[in-house]
A = this chain, B = another copy of it.
Amino acid sequence: MSASPHRAPGYVEGRPDVVVVGGGFGGVSCVRALRRANANVVLVDRMNHTLFQPLLYQLATGVLDDSAIASPLRQVFARQSNVSVLRASVDGFDVDRRCVLAGDLEIPWDHLVLAAGMKTSYFGNDQWEAMAPGLKTLDDAHRVRGRILEAFEQAEYVRVWGETDEVRPWLTFVVVGGGATGVEVAGAIKQLAVDRLAPEFKDLDVARCRVLLVEGGERLLAAMSTKSSAAAAKTLRSYGVEIRLETRVVDVSPEGVTIEQGGSREFVPARTVVWGAGVAGNALGAHLAEAVGLETDRGGRLEVSGDLTIAGRDDIRVIGDLARVPIGETGATVPGVAQGAIQMGTYAGRAIAARVAGRAPTKKPFRYFDKGSLATVGRGKAVLDMGRLHIAGFLGWLVWAAVHIAFLVNFRSRIAAMGSWAFAYIFQTGVNELITKPAAPRAPLESESEGSST
């Protein structure tokens, strides 16, 4: 511990300290909403960038490059003079002394905003992670992309080698979870194989690869309308994606996945598994809850009041996926999606700005405005729910593309993404299909400890 508490770079004596932990949609929106506040704002993140997570699956399937969906936080806030970006891993909170603890640093707060988000959850089977990477970070996406591309190379290698029994498992891809991520990844893998890789593998019919989408519930995209669920399923099936509903994954091994449906089990030999099934709160949510004597819910979220503060502490706000925000008296809560985090970030930032300025913050509690939901189902097709409006197919995709481009954090990202998309769409080619690790003499079946990154 340093003797004296850390003062933010750019620190101005006498101004209140606002510490925002987490540079995702929630944290970035909150800091933006504080742009005119007479405060010392510190944005702490263990990564140096903010990430447009809804497009991670495009990175994972070689359609976009990193720089299209990620922006360095320092770059995002280069022109906002009251904020300092600090790249550091937060370990916990000293709520009595009002300090965020990050390694050797103590970062004092007058107002704390926790926006640390979620991590991939394997429902108690963390040993599956090595075989079935999730999709939350750039490294995750590189790992998934490396695995997918490597699987096609390995299929070709074993074919040449004459081990024909090995070809099929290398050409079988199991995607776990029928939410937006699973649907998007499953469609994208099949299209990668059919549109882009098939002409490159001359003697191996990679287009016939098997993509299995496994969902525990009774329909895909459970958060969307039944109409959109049905449209998504129909489109995926037309590509040749196999959909298994009401099916649970009971084991993942380097050789494949064991699934269970209605009491009967089946082993699917598969070398590539992508996990899109679950998320749980970042450990920082639990740390904070413990520090203030509260409990998290089963998903690791903290209950917040209407003003997004936690019980008994008007100096601590939790926003984004980590916040459990009831929607009226319906029993429902705000879903863990980008628009929820953005809206909470803006609300929290404005409330703190008002407090800092000596004004009373709005008495209106936070209210989630559902702008609708979207999911892509392969290139050029999407499903879209906006209130009672349901659009599927190319029109849905146009809306999807427009919304996503508009959302992208800064100007440069927008340009890069538009360029890449337009190119990929017109020429039916990917932007990045590179594997950067040398080939092993034979690919081991053991799980790798290190992702094959780009």
Contact = CB atoms under 8 A, between A and B. Distances in A.
Contact of A138 (B46, B70, B102, B434): B434
| From A6, A104, A419, A423, residue with most partner B Cβ within 10 Å | A104
A103 B441 contact: yes
Interface residues of A, number: 72
Interface in A51-80: 65-67, 70, 72, 74-75, 78-79
7 contacts: A6-B161, A48-B149, A86-B156, A88-B439, A89-B440, A142-B453, A453-B453
A450 interface: yes
A385 interface: no
Contact of A72 (B91, B156, B160, B434): B434
Given A10-B203, A85-B200, 4 more contacts: A10-B202, A48-B434, A86-B156, A412-B429
A105 B441 CA distance: 9
| From A2, A86, A200, residue with most partner B Cβ within 10 Å | A200
Contacts of A78: 199-200
A454 interface: yes
A366 interface: no
Interface string A128-165: 00000000011100100000010001001101111000
Nearest to A85: B200
Nearest to A105: B161
B48 A89 contact: no
A267 interface: no
A67 B434 contact: yes
A49 interface: yes
A121 interface: no
Interface in A145-194: 149, 153, 156-157, 159-162
Interface in A207-246: none
Contact of A427 (B153, B156, B162, B412): B412
A46 B157 CA distance: 12
A87 interface: yes
A68 B415 CA distance: 16
A47 interface: yes
Nearest to A154: B87
| From A197, A423, A437, residue with most partner B Cβ within 10 Å | A437
Interface in A15-67: 46-49, 65-67
